[in-house]
């Protein structure tokens, strides 16, 4: 199942692991614990992570940090996508996490110089997440970062369509659901005006 990987960058897909963010009654976290996150990360291509899915995270510290980074990223990216001022506090947290991950990284001794943080144990997973978020925030073009037109969905994506006219996270999901709803509403209007 890859229909949830629509953000255009693994770090955006991570932010989108909260489903129905705009509707507290339906909101669900698709990566509630470390095993679920590791399965998801392998599928989403967020790595490099060499931690087995049943790895121990007894105190839940690794996944708690991943969740915190995800929420900082959501605050920054949702603001940017809607043209609101980017909140400085979560951006500072992301910068600090990225700087820490970089400090612990091993350099790739070739050009272009890159830093790589490979997670071999649970406690190293947040560094890989921070690295992916920094890549998104520092190196990707966020001019056409968008939020899904379905307020309940509120997924984020990079609109790479030619005219930058993409309205939905997925036309097959949110787009289709709204087309069906509009069609049903039109039919109701027509049948009530006919009676």
Phi/psi region, residue 174 (left: phi>0; alpha: psi -120 to 50; beta: rest), is alpha
| Tokens (6 digits) for 191 | 């049948």
Least separation in angstroms between CB 147 and Zn ion: 9
DSSP lists the bridge partners of residue 138 as: none
Residue whose CB is less far from Zn ion, 47 or 175 = 175
Residue whose CB is less far from Zn ion, 133 or 153 = 153
What is the CA 165 to chain-centroid distance, rounded?
20
Least separation in angstroms between CB 148 and Zn ion: 3
Q: What is the dihedral of CA 34, 36, 39, 44, to 10 degrees?
A: -100
Residue whose CB is less far from Zn ion, 17 or 55 = 17
Least separation in angstroms between CB 26 and Zn ion: 13
Residue whose CB is less far from Zn ion, 5 or 102 = 5
Residue whose CB is less far from Zn ion, 4 or 150 = 150
Least separation in angstroms between CB 193 and Zn ion: 31
Q: Is residue 40 a contact partner of residue 30, using CB atoms and an 8 Å limit? A: yes
Q: Is residue 121 a contact partner of residue 129, using CB atoms and an 8 Å limit? A: no
Binding residues for Zn ion (CB under 5 A): 148, 150, 153, 155, 169, 174
- Name the nearest CA neighbour of 12 among 101, 63, 78: 78
Pairwise CA distance, residues 30 & 25, whole Å: 15
Q: Is residue 79 a contact partner of residue 85, using CB atoms and an 8 Å limit? A: yes
H and E: helices and strands count for the chain:
6, 6
Residue whose CB is less far from Zn ion, 50 or 151 = 151
Least separation in angstroms between CB 22 and Zn ion: 9
Least separation in angstroms between CB 168 and Zn ion: 5
């Amino acid at each position: 199942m890859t229909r949830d990987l629509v953000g255009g960058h693994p770090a955006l897909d991570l932010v989108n692991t909260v489903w129905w963010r705009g509707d507290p009654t339906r909101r669900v976290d698709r990566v509630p614990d470390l095993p679920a996150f590791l399965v998801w990360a392998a599928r989403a291509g967020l790595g490099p992570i060499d931690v087995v899915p049943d790895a121990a995270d007894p105190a839940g510290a690794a996944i708690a940090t991943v969740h915190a980074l995800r929420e900082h990223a959501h605050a920054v990216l949702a603001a940017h996508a809607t043209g609101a001022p980017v909140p400085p506090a979560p951006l500072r947290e992301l910068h600090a996490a990225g700087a820490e991950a970089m400090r612990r990284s091993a350099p790739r001794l070739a050009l272009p110089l890159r830093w790589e943080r490979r997670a071999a144990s649970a406690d190293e997973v947040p560094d890989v997440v921070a690295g992916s978020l920094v890549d998104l925030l520092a190196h990707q073009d966020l001019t056409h970062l968008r939020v899904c037109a379905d307020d309940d969905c509120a997924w984020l994506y990079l609109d790479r369509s030619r005219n930058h006219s993409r309205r939905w996270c997925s036309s097959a999901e949110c787009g289709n659901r709204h087309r069906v709803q509009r069609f049903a509403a039109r039919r109701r209007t027509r049948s009530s005006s006919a009676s």
